[in-house]
Chains A and B, each alone.
Chain A
Amino acid sequence: MRRDVFQAIADPNRRAILSLLAQQRLTLNGVAENFRISRPAVSRHIKILKECGLVVVIPQGRERFVEARFDKLGEVADWIEQYRQLWEARFDRLDDVLEKLKKEK
């Protein structure tokens, strides 16, 4: 099974869980209370987020707290930014071609 950050954020519930955890760490129940979906469904989403490295589950006493790890999310912005740079370089060269064409006219 493919597990990466893109898969993690493809699901709207997982995105909602992440934005909730961006504000504060919560227990599993604390997360589930904020959603209409069942507690096992929330647990499954948290498991996927954990496998993708976007959250960690920290046991503390009897509770288990879920904390977001946002450094992984940077990967998404990075690849789009690098793809953008590829096109930027290409279109900058196209600008040069167009400048030459304009002068020829």
Chain B
Amino acid sequence: MPSKNKVTVTAEPGKQELFITREFDAPRELVYKAHIDPKLYVQWLGPHGYEMILETFEPVNGGKYRYVHKDKEGNEYGFHGTFHAMSPESMIQTFEFEGYAGHVSLDYMTLEELPGNRTKATIHSVFQSVSDRDGIIQNGMETGVREGYERLDDILGGLS
């Protein structure tokens, strides 16, 4: 098992953008495939403990997407947007959380080939305002926190 690659999130105070970077021990074509093949996409996108429903998925320039995360209580969290230029080098899409409607971000993802069949992914998200950026992070955070605790439970369960 390769050692775990670290995710970095850079969100400078007062700016309306953020950057996410992560390296993968896989060639670019596979990382790209996992982003445009709906059967693969559903396996990793949704948070742990949520049902991931991929309603619309057209990963071509001008195509749409919509997916819903459904929790055990039946609460649904919808997300949708439009794809723009799509290639193994870069993917451009808009993103809107329906629970925070009207606040759309532009996500620009690049996949860079690294030596040894590895790939570096960088997501540059640009929001309409600083408070939009902070708002979407805080909205996304709630699931992140819950997920964090569930994962901790998994780990602790595995230890005992």
Which 6 A-B residue pairs are closest in the complex by CB-CB distance? A10-B14, A86-B144, A93-B44, A98-B26, A94-B44, A84-B9
Q: Which residue of A lies closest to B4 (CB)?
A: A92
Produce 1/0 per residue, B139-156, CB < 8 A to A. 011011101100100000
B 19-31 to A, binary, CB cutoff 8 A, 1 in contact else 0: 0101011100011
Q: With A79-B137, A82-B141 known to touch, is A10 a contact of B130 (CB < 8 Å)?
A: yes
Contact between B141 and A79, CB atoms less than 8 A apart: yes
The number of chain B residues with a CB under 8 A from chain A is 37
Whether A11 sits at the interface, judged by CB under 8 Å, is yes
Which residue on chain B has the smallest CB distance to residue A76? B13
Contact in complex: A98, B7 (CB < 8 Å): no
Give A78's nearest chain B residue, CB to CB.
B141
A87 closest partner in B (C-beta): B7
Asked whether B78 is an interface residue with its Cβ less than 8 Å from the other chain, the reply is no
In the complex, whether A71 has a CB less than 8 A from a CB of chain B is no
Q: How far is the CB of B25 from chain A (nearest CB, A)?
A: 7
User: Shortest distance in angstroms between A20's beta carbon and chain B's nearest beta carbon?
Assistant: 17
Nearest chain A CB to B43 CB, angstrom units: 5
Point out the residues of chain B lying under 8 angstroms from A76, CB to CB: 13
A98-B24 in contact (CB<8A): yes
Q: In the complex, which residue of chain A has the Cβ closest to the Cβ of B26? A: A98
Q: How far is the CB of B96 from chain A (nearest CB, A)?
A: 17
- The A28-78 residues at the B interface (CB cut-off 8 A) are 76
> Does A9 count as interface, using CB distance less than 8 angstroms?
yes
Q: Answer whether residue A80 sits at the interface, using C-beta atoms and an 8 A cutoff.
A: yes
Task: Report B110 CB to chain A, min CB distance, Å.
Answer: 15
Q: How far is the CB of A5 from chain B (nearest CB, A)?
A: 9
